[in-house]
Amino acid sequence: MGACNDLSPQQCRTVQIIEPDSTLLTATSSGSADASLDEYGSLVLTQGQTEADIIFVTPKAGEYRFEYLYIDAFGVANPGNVEPVAVTQSPLGFAALFAGAPILAGHVLRWRVVVVQIGELAPFDSPQNLYLQLPQANLFLVAFTVPRSNVQYGFSELRIENLIDPPDQQTPILAQVVHKTQLDFTLALNPTPDSDNYFVKVRTP
């Protein structure tokens, strides 16, 4: 075959060869997007829904960011304002909590994630939401339904409720975290609950 300048322009092509690099984000040879690098979807929400768990079709190949994460309500009269906030991420999916809740059916959560760095994604624990009856004791062990990845977790909500006894028959109870593990944590209660009508509301993260 002759040199490129001996051929017609339609027959000339420039090809660049580079060393393979697994950290480069590329499309497949057919030109279609790699689902481990880029995925989008939507979820129809129910009335009053306050959170959503999204499972990816294809696990992600590394750290990803959100191209978009929002809720639309086309065709819903006076839909109110519902804002999604991502609270957990893993290669398998993510969880979002909503500031507000749909007052009517017809809201749709829409999202797209794009991998920005190939490699292991740091663990991001799924939220725990617990409502437990307190014992008449000054220590209470709270067990997680899903273990935490480390002991550096915090609490977005931790409060004591008594919705049964009349207010003038209740004693305010202070709850303090005194020990944490990946499986559970311990609350010190002061004063000790004097009935079985006290409950603790816990949310982490």
pLDDT at residue 30 is higher than 50? no
pLDDT of residue 160: 95
pLDDT of residue 24: 52
Q: State mean pLDDT over 15-37.
A: 57
Give dist(CA 79, CA 83) in Å, integer.
12
Give the CA distances from residue 99 to residues 126, 139, 203, in Å, rounded to whole numbers and listed in that order: 18, 33, 15
Let me know if residue 19 belongs to a domain: no
pLDDT of residue 137: 95
Output the pTM of the full model: 0.48
Which structural domain, as residue segments, surrounds residue 164?
Answer: 128-204
Let me know if residue 50 belongs to a domain: yes
- Count structural domains, the chain: 2
pLDDT of residue 28: 44
pLDDT of residue 2: 47
pLDDT at residue 63 is higher than 90? no
Let me know if residue 173 belongs to a domain: yes
Which of 55, 84, 118 represents a domain boundary (last residue)? 118
pLDDT in tens, 119-164: 766 566 778 889 999 999 999 999 988 778 778 888 989 999 999 9
Contacts of 75 (CB under 8 A, 6+ apart): 106
pLDDT of residue 195: 94
Contacts of 30 (CB under 8 A, 6+ apart): none
Higher pLDDT, 92 or 197: 197
Let me know if residue 26 belongs to a domain: no
Q: Indicate the pLDDT class of residue 179, thresholds 50, 70 and 90.
A: very high
Question: Chain-wide mean pLDDT for the chain?
Answer: 83
Q: E strands within 10-169? A: 38-44, 51-55, 62-72, 83-90, 93-99, 108-118, 128-133, 139-143, 157-161
Which of 118, 148, 164 represents a domain boundary (last residue)? 118
Q: State mean pLDDT over 174-179.
A: 96
pLDDT of residue 70: 94
* Whether residue 105 is found in the same domain as residue 170: no
